[in-house]
Structure 1
Amino acid sequence: MKTSSPVFDAGSRRRLLGAVVAAAGVYATAAPVQAQQNTEASLDTMTVEAAAIPDSAAGPDSSIVARRTMTGSKTDTEVLDLSNSVSTVTEEEMRTRNVQSLEQAIGYTAGVAVDQYGSDDRYDYFMIRGFDGTSAGTYRDGLSRRTVNFTGGKLEPYGLQRIDILKGSTSTLFGLNAPGGMVNAITKRPLDYDFGEVYTTLGDDHTETGADFGGPIDQAGEWTYRITTKWQDAELSADETRDDRFYFAPALTWKPNDATSLTLLADYNKRRGNTSHAIPIGSNIDPETFLGEPDYNDLDRFERNIGYLFEHDFQNGLTFRQNARYTHLDMDYRHVYLSQPDPREGRDAYVVAGERDQYVIDNQLQYDHVFKGVKSRTLAGFDYNHDEVDERSRFGSAGGIDINNPIYCGASCVDLTRQPDFHQKQIARGTYLQEELTFNDRWIVTLGGRFDEIKTDTADEAFSDNAFTKRAGLTWKALENLSLYTNYSESFEPPSQRSLIEGSAEPQEGKQYEVGLKYRPATNALITLAAFDLTQENVIKQVSQNLYRQVGEINVRGLELEGKLALNDRLNMTAAYSYWDPEIKEDGLTGNEGNRPMLVPRNIASVWADYTIPGDSARGDLTLGLGTRFVGDTWIDDANSDKTASYTLVDAMARYGITDNVDLAVNVTNLFDRDYLTYVDNVSNSGFHGDGRSILTTLRYHW
């Protein structure tokens, strides 16, 4: 069976939709498809046809289990062949859990911690292998989308068809990056068959509607399109919060032949959100109480992206790829927050207007050939990143507030003073080379190197950094479905707030050693185990509003176990466990050697399972899902002065197929409305609590 055809009749389209039902969001009726297949082929023949439809390395995926990825090596590679650890959250998994943020999407992944700042929903906060990846570790379609100072965006999950999480130091391929790893979000792209859906989601102070549709434009299938859009008017669980969104993303693919493709991607992402808020520790007031100022509680972003993905196969083992994107982001940030142990004595206020322009392009040339029985895959690349940020800010004070009887004073009690403008232009150029050699189809050697040149201009100074990072890996395929691997890799990351760092700032450098195994049973499943030793030097920590310090050296040793199983058409399961042993090795500034770094848990665990009860002539399919996440205790600072307690959260869902094309779903996060504390600000003695229970009901029509 082919995955594409110049013209689709109704029967072939139905079979194709059945093969990629989960990733495309199109739910076909199981019985008619089975009956049709039975009339065409025997059971053995059907098995062969299903296997002939491989999942794409960038999605869409036919289940929650990804088989291939482009993220691990920038080449289309079977996950078992990689000498590093990659986890994937497919579109089916995101849809089942109805994720509303990147944090929710990756929260069930081994080696990943989210929600470090609780009710602070300003950015996509996450930690990989004990190191923060919020500012530097987010990528989209393999291209960086860093946050600089305050200016940065948030991803819209509804616009994504999969999320890859690459763990460990990744600078050899992706350049400037944190040592723990990266998150690569893959944008929804046109498909070569007709599909579509419209939906409405309702909840407590939550109204949302969206659509996702596309298909071939011409009969030959040379042109395909996709339009994804979403509108939302919502509040979060705490008082004076909002999460309003408008997302519109058109996409167009031109594929004149099997060797050439060009995909144009654009999106407009308008988000009106709120700043973080906290309550005094030990106050015994409702954690949802708002102690800021409603007139100074904005974090509004208007982000526009336009780019393309180009690939051409020269048909002689040589392939060229070029990905590019331009981003313009405007940000309006206004905040009144607790700054004193007794809020009646006063609060602080901060206002920032940010503007950002980023242009990034990645060129790749891949050459595959066989020499005396040895398979060789060579990748050479050059990428360029031009990133310019301007921020105008004012800082000052606001009047005090009675936490037991909050009375807001508005602009009349806020006194602001203009601060020096923040300006940073950073130009990064990277040249990289990677060689993969396969011996006897059992041994795979991966060697890579990269040279980066970075020039950073601030309002007062100019800096230049360069680095050569290396990577070496070995994979042994002990069995066709079992591989063992080891690797060494490095990371390199110049400071993104150079002018705000006390003293002479040095680039952060990381080194990682890793061993692991990957097992794919006969069923549709993937089980991975990894152990690692990861060290970063010149780690940057924020000391106050506009002051950062480099604390020396941090080491994290850990163990990760993850399983993703799509056992049949009815049962899906994910399970993950992470053990981290983090330690501050050197800290000449404050003497915290031997302590555990702040906000880094030792233990993280999660389980999710959903089961579908097939329908009959009297009723439709019923899917029930339940998941739980455990996060261990964390220290509130590097001095290890106090801890936040561990917590366990439970999520649930139910979906009923009203007809073949209509389903109704209910998703609940934090099912038992657990009150949990994730972060404490020592200066103001204020705590940040996690979001409370959310219940969302979705009615979806798909075709």
Structure 2
Amino acid sequence: MTNGGATAMRNRGRVALVASALMMTTALAPFVLVTPAQAQQAGHNRIDGQYEFDIPAQSLTSALAQFGVQSGLQVTVDGALVRGLEGRAVTGTMRADTALEVLLGGSGLNYDVTGDGTVVIEALQTGAAADGEVLDPVRVEANAANFSDPSDAITDSFVANRSRTASKTDTPVLDDSAAVSVVTEKEMETRNVQDLQQAVAYTAGVQSGEYGSDVRYDYVRIRGFYQSSLGAYRDGLPSRIYNFTNSRPETYGLQQVDVLKGSTSSLFGLNGPGGLVNMTTKRPEDEASGEVFTTFGENHLRGGGDVTGPVAEDSNWTYRLTGLWQDAELSQDYSKDDRLYLAPAFTYKPKAGTELTILTSYSERDSGLGYGFPTGIETSRDAFFGEPDFNNFDTEETNLGYEFSHLITDKLEFRQNARYTHVDLNYETVYLQDTAPLGDRYAFAIYGELDRFAIDNQVQYDTAINDTFDSKTLVGIDFNRDQNREKRYDGSASPIDPYNPSYCGPSCIDLDFTSDTEITQAAYGVYAQEQLTIADDWIATVGGRFDYIQSDTDTISSGTTDERDDHKFTSRFGLTYKATNEVSVYGNYSESFQPVYSSLASRPEGVEPQEGTQYEIGVKYQPEAFDALFTAALFDLTQENVSQWNSSTSTYKQIGEINSRGLELEGKMSLDAQTNMTLAYTYLDAEIKDDVTAANIGNSPANVPEHQASAWLDYTIPGQGVFGDLTLGGGVRFVGERQRNDGNTETLGGYSLFDAAINYAVTDSVSLAVNATNLTDREYVSSNTFGSRYYGDGRTVLATLKYSW
């Protein structure tokens, strides 16, 4: 959401909040929506008239209110009938009665029209309205130009009310029997996040940036388990990393990031037990808007823009074009972070209930590599021990995908998401070895190519059974195929004095061809899920999935092939109790399934998939009085068959078992148009239950902190006269002590990092923002792995000048 529409959005949000609050407090009485436009049009607008509708899927209460605004018709309904029900999306020009039938589909409700043209919503079965009982109406006034459901203003708030990630259906966060955290576009823009690690850094249960200045990938742990290999999703489809070849996502191209915590295989297939991160790409919007910006800092220059709107007046097509260019360096000597990103997108809505969105993108990133510092070296954290001309992690990524949905009947919907991805990698590096003699260097190169195809087909059937049950049934079939080919070279480079480095160029690098390997994995999945709402207060979620995985590792250079087939059924059971309209309590059991696909020859004892189970209970509170969401979760996670390297026999063993129990507390608030706040705390009691090294049993896993916490607050001082709005923000991120290794022989100290933001609205369209991360330039060790220390990023200050319309 660009700044040009911020004021209007805030106004719409206020009106929607007032309307919702009045409706909820009169749940046993009918309501009537009347606008000034309707007062003038009474008796003129007809149920069989043609109108332009743009009503997203949302609560039926708000959907009916929008229907009344957009058609100019007066709508009356018993509030008890619609409480807890969901209205379907209605988009396009159509008769009002057609739109109303779509809107009420699957709700168990019907409508009648009185002699004066009032639309009366009534139950299909007998009820108060059918018996002729008339209750005192509640009259809610709204301006047709400003009214909008709060979910429409999600990008102008830190709080997301709904998410498709936890259940693959459009479900309120309050109703889901799982812990899901949503980072909205508004939050990402306010903090000016530069990568996915920064986007999720203020999320409970998440540990990000484990390898500090290493910028090859986004390193994320969820509930103590490393999720970056399998747990990255884009628009609901996986973006798995099989070896080295992969590209980092551009966060400027995202409108939302969802973190689903816990075992998720019953819906998403092969995955680790900790959870997943689902990134939602920016999509075309019906209202024209845009922005252009430039960001500058020390050795940092960035420019970009984002425009969206209808292709032409009265067109069924809308578009969005997002672009970014960057020429930058990181703090480490001889580093770089150059980017080019271009993402055209189009949405076609030929009629109500049918929608096709085409999502494409091209991304080019030229990066250096962050390095670990071997034990015994005490020097600047920005020191460079490689070769400037052989220090590349360059990727080129192309994506072509689409999302299609079609409402077959008022109760049955078909959806299909698909994407093809191609990635090229050029990875070249020289680094210090972590043992004596000090100064000896290794050389290493990977030239990779990745082709990925993913498709997910879903059928959703919504219906009401009597007056007691509401059923939402989901059945899906998905297919994913990844083919990753990499040529590897290993060698050495001339020794270097780490305290007085002198570089010798490519001529002193000696590389030998090591291997040519192709990893191909095809995954077939069939899943089903039932969400059954009982008497409006209980929501039972039951799901199951069967996966069949074919994994082939072809070592082309040696002519050997490792083939493996895995299959697994995973399940999920969840129950939510809506104690009030604001409070829900839930519990769930879920499972994870993570096949092992590589290095099969070194596993003589046989290979089994790594399996996980989770038990979780939690409570969610979403107050009606203000825009906020508070959550608490207690969980117990166990993963078995964990693969571990046995150095004494040079083979893998699968006797590892890790248990992670903990507590997560999180709050997100947009208290008014001026104040946003996030709070998060995580307690983790992680323990190694079984290990190839018996002495490790009972220890804490490496790099998993027992305590983490974060807080962010920003406040806008309204402008006066010639002075515009001034927003001041700041945050703190705390990571507690961790163990350096599974043997727990060394403890890494905890650290606190401070961030800050200032944004000044020069005019309604022009803003100037300054964002700082690690404001105090704290020097800290983010991890100490493989015999090397990895330092976290130092202070970064960036200024952004933006023009929006």
C-alpha offsets along residues 325-345 of structure 1, whole Å, 9 cap, x if unaligned? 000000010111121334645
Aligned to 1:648: 752
CA gap 1:461/1:523 in 2 versus in 1, 3 angstroms:
same
Q: Distance in 2 between matches of 1:602 and 1:171?
A: 26
- Which residue does the alignment assign to 2:784? 680
Query: What amino acid is the match of 1:396?
Result: G
- Tell me how far 1:491 sits from its aligned partner: 0.5
* Other-structure match for 1:86: 180
Residue 383 (structure 1) aligns with: 478
Partner of residue 526 from structure 1, selected from 601, 618, 629? 629
Matching residue's letter, 1:531: L
1:631 aligned onto 2:727: no
Work out the CA distance in 2 between the residues paired with 1:500 and 1:345. 34
What is the alpha-carbon distance in structure 1 between the residues aligned to residue 450 and residue 490 of structure 2?
Answer: 21
Correspondence 1:670 to 2:774: yes
Partner of 1:114: 208
Maintained 8 Å contact 1:501/1:549: no
Q: Assess if the C-alpha contact under 8 Å between 2:592 and 2:611 holds in 1.
A: yes
Q: Distance in 1 between matches of 2:503 and 2:721?
A: 59
Q: Deviations over 1:59-104 (max 9, x none)?
A: 9533110000100100000000000011000000000000000000
Deviation at 1:116, TM superposition (A): 0.9
Query: How far off is 1:203 after superposition?
Result: 0.3
Question: For the Cα contact (< 8 Å) 1:192–1:221, is it kept in 2?
Answer: no
- TM-superposed CA distance for 1:639, in Å, is 1.2
Give the aligned residue type for 1:218.
Answer: A
Question: What is the DSSP-based 3-state SS (H/G/I as helix, E as strand, rest coil) of the residue aligned with 2:156?
Answer: coil
Equivalent position to 2:298, from 182, 188, 204: 204
Taking structure 1 as reference, are residues 181 and 428 closer, same or farther at Cα in structure 2, changes over 3 Å only?
same
Q: Using the TM superposition, give the Cα deviation of residue 315 of structure 1 relative to its aligned residue in structure 2, in angstroms.
A: 3.0
What is the DSSP-based 3-state SS (H/G/I as helix, E as strand, rest coil) of the residue aligned with 1:55? helix
Contact map agreement 2:778 2:795 (CA 8 A) in 1: yes
Q: Does structure 1 residue 133 correspond to structure 2 residue 237? A: no
**2:674 and 2:6 mapped to 1: Cα distance?**
23
2:438 and 2:782 map into 1 onto residues whose CA distance is: 24
Matches within 5 A, 1:6-405: 15=8, 19=12, 45-46=141-142, 52-55=148-151, 61-342=155-436, 344-372=438-466, 373-405=468-500
C-alpha distance in 2, partners of 1:187/1:564? 22
List per-residue Cα deviations over 1:25-72 (Å, max 9, x = no partner).
xxxxxxxxxxxxx9989996349997742426xx95331100001001
Deviations 1:301-351 (A, max 9, x none): 000000000001123300010000000000010111121334645111110
- Determine if contact 2:453/2:480 at 8 Å carries over to the other structure: yes
Letter of the 1:556 partner, please give it.
S
Letter in 1 for 2:754: V
2: CA distance, partners of 1:283 / 1:588: 31
Q: Deviations over 1:375-423 (max 9, x none)?
A: 1110000000011000000111222111111011222222212112221
Contact 2:13–2:150 at 8 Å: present in 1 too?
A: no
Show the counterpart of 2:102: none
AA aligned opposite 2:801: L
Residue 477 (str. 1) matches residue 578 (str. 2) = yes
| Displacement after TM superposition at 1:13 (Å) | 12
Q: Which residue of 1 is the match for residue 795 of structure 2?
A: 693
**CA pair 365-348 structure 1, distance change in 2 beyond 3 A:** same
Cα distance in structure 2, aligned partners of 1:12 and 1:286? 46
Residue 295 of structure 1: CA displacement?
A: 2.0
Alpha-carbon shift at residue 16 of structure 1 (Å): 6.1
1:457 to 552, 558, 568: 552
- In structure 2, the CA distance between the partners of 1:590 and 1:420, relative to structure 1 (3 Å rule), is farther
Structure-2 separation of matches of 1:18 and 1:247: 33
- Selected match of 1:466 from 567, 576, 582: 567
Q: Is contact 1:13-1:193 (8 Å) kept?
A: no
Stretch moving more, 217-226 or 654-663: 217-226
2:24 is aligned to none
Greater CA drift, 402-411 or 188-197: 402-411
Q: Aligned pair in 2 of structure 1 residues 40, 234: CA closer, same or farther (>3 Å)?
A: farther
CA distance in 1, matches of 2:628, 2:570: 34
- Deviation per residue, 1:411-469 (Å, 9 max, x gap): 22222121122211100000000001111100000000000000011111210000000
- Whether the 8 Å CA contact 1:278–1:287 is kept in 2: the answer is no
What is the alpha-carbon distance in structure 2 between the residues aligned to residue 47 and residue 585 of structure 1?
61
Match of 1:556 among 660, 664, 667: 660
Q: Would the alpha carbon gap of residues 41 and 567 (structure 1) be closer, same or farther in structure 2, given more than 3 Å must change?
A: farther
Aligned residue for 2:442, secondary structure, equals: strand
Q: Would the aligned equivalents of 2:496 and 2:502 in 1 still touch at CA under 8 Å?
A: yes
Measure, in 1, the Cα distance between the counterparts of 2:144 and 2:598: 55
Aligned 8 A contact 1:142 1:184 in 2? yes
Secondary structure at the aligned position of 1:61 is classed as helix
| CA–CA separation in structure 2 for the residues paired with 1:586 and 1:426 | 29
Assess if the C-alpha contact under 8 Å between 1:343 and 1:400 holds in 2: no
Mapped contact 2:10–2:156 kept (Cα < 8 A)? no
Q: Is the 8 A contact 2:367 2:392 kept in 1?
A: yes
Q: Is the 8 A contact 1:279 1:289 kept in 2?
A: no
CA distance in 1, matches of 2:782, 2:311: 50
2 CA distance for matches of 1:248 and 1:277?
Answer: 30
SS for the counterpart of 1:290 is coil
Unaligned runs of 5+ in 2: 15-34, 40-138, 555-560
Does the Cα contact within 8 Å between 2:644 and 2:692 map onto a contact in 1? no
Contact map agreement 1:279 1:291 (CA 8 A) in 2: no
Distance 2:631 2:250 in 1: 28
Equivalent residues of 2:576, 2:587 under 8 A apart: yes
Whole-angstrom CA distance in 1 between matches of 2:715 and 2:410: 46
Q: Which runs of 5+ in 1 are unaligned?
A: 1-10, 22-37
1:258–1:106 CA distance, 2 compared to 1 (3 A):
same
Is residue 510 from structure 1 mapped to residue 612 from structure 2 by the alignment?
yes
Within 5 A, what are the aligned runs for 1:545-624?
Answer: 550=654, 552-589=656-693, 591-624=695-728
> Which residue in 2 is equivalent to 1:7?
none
Instruction: Give per-residue Cα distances to partners, 1:670-690, cap 9 Å, x unaligned.
Output: 00000000122354xx31100
> Offset at 1:276?
2.6
Distance in 1, matches of 2:354 and 2:643, equals 44
Q: CA RMSD in A?
A: 2.4
TM-score (norm: length of structure 2): 0.81
Q: Distance in 1 between matches of 2:387 and 2:576?
A: 56
Distance 1:664 1:12, change over 3 A: closer
**Contact 2:344 / 2:359 at 8 angstroms: preserved in 1?**
yes
Structure 2 CA distance for partners of 1:617 and 1:548, relative to 1, 3 Å? farther
- Specify the alignment match of 1:434 in structure 2: 529
How far does residue 497 in structure 1 lie from its aligned partner after superposition?
A: 3.0
Q: Pick the structure with greater CA Rg.
A: 2
**Deviates most, 404-413 or 342-351:** 342-351
Preserved CA contact (<8 Å) 1:601 1:632: yes
Q: Which moved more, 1:280-289 or 1:40-49?
A: 40-49
Partner SS state of residue 470, structure 2: strand
Q: Give the Cα separation in 2 of the matches to 1:541 and 1:229.
A: 43
For 2:70, the equivalent position in structure 1 comes to none
Q: Displacement of 1:280 after TM fit? A: 3.3
Report if aligned partners of 1:500, 1:548 keep a CA contact under 8 Å in 2.
no
Once the 2 structures are TM-superposed, how far is the Cα of residue 220 of structure 1 from its aligned partner?
2.0
Distance 1:332 1:281, change over 3 A: same
